[in-house]
Amino acid sequence: MQQATNRLKVAQSALDMGKEEIRRLKQIAKELRLWIVRMLAEAGSGHPGGSLSAIDILTVLYFHTLKHRPQEPNWPMRDRFILSKGHGVPALYAALAKSGYFPMDELATLRKLGSRLQGHPVAGTLPGIEASSGSLGQGFSIAQGMAIASKLDGSPFRVFCMIGDGETQEGQIWETAMSAPKFGLDNLILFLDYNKGQIDGHTKEIMDLEPVAEKWAAFNWDVQEIDGNDIPQIINAIERTRNLSSKPHIIISHTVKGKGVSFMENNIDWHGKAPTQEEALRALNEIERIVIE
């Protein structure tokens, strides 16, 4: 009886630790949303919609999943992350700074002349940036190359990549989608930040991706669909990829463009427009009021 009670206590303790971890990650995501708004308002240009939609995934990756060493950014065994939708780089900069790759106060230099934080990722200028991206479709190809290199070297590192839904209309995406299964890249995990919007309008109206899950499955990928702004779902989806071999993985993440700011959410106008100081203050106040449960 006592042993059974002890097992229950251990199980409850593990559950509580899980809840605490989720709460910790939610708090980090909230902080990073604040930084995204501050950065863009200070810069006067940039892409808030796709940065805010992606930040929950980046939070899970950098503060829960990735094997990485911010003080040793070129550690050979590190997991790699490639932001193929390079215009969402404010989210990546915020995650890298919070992780300790560079000082948080440098975030205020986004898009400034001479800054290391340019409007798209530039490899070699900032620790933690694995590849230059922004020409849509190319980052995914780079990620595949890294995954092949890992296989050839017998290395344990995995490669994570994020693409956008507008980006998925690019032919280069589908060339990589076709070739990755050929090489059995089960160490490649792709996130589709499926916020349903792009600079020209709603994706469905510009070039509909549906049935997107069926298309990736037909290309012989392991396919999952989740709420990409739900941290437990993100964690569970990543964990599931560890137990499946021979196929690359795509996690189709249904997200909200501009997530966390009411007047930006699902509003295409905020794809590539920075907030004014007044709008930023309103957005910051809304994010501050988010209750972490």
Domain ranges across the chain: 2-288
Q: Write the pLDDT tens digit of every residue in 196-230.
A: 999 999 999 999 999 999 999 999 999 999 999 99
Cβ-contact 56, 27 below 8 angstroms = no
Grouping H, G, I as helix, E, B as strand and the rest as coil, residue 279 is helix
Q: Which residues contact 21 (CB under 8 A, 6 or more apart)?
A: 64
* For residues 171-194, average pLDDT: 97
Q: To 5 degrees, how large is the angle CA 140–CA 143–CA 148?
A: 130
- Third-level CATH fold of 2-288: Rossmann fold (3.40.50)
**Average model confidence (pLDDT) across the chain:** 94
Closest CA to 147 of 134, 160, 164: 160
Instruction: List the beta bridge partners of residue 254.
Output: 194, 227
Grouping H, G, I as helix, E, B as strand and the rest as coil, residue 190 is strand
Q: Write the pLDDT tens digit of every residue in 39-69.
A: 999 999 999 999 999 999 999 999 999 999 9
**In angstroms, what CA-CA distances link 210 with 88, 121, 203, 216, 224?**
23, 29, 10, 11, 15
- Give 245's pLDDT tier (boundaries 50, 70, 90): confident
- Give 193's pLDDT tier (boundaries 50, 70, 90): very high
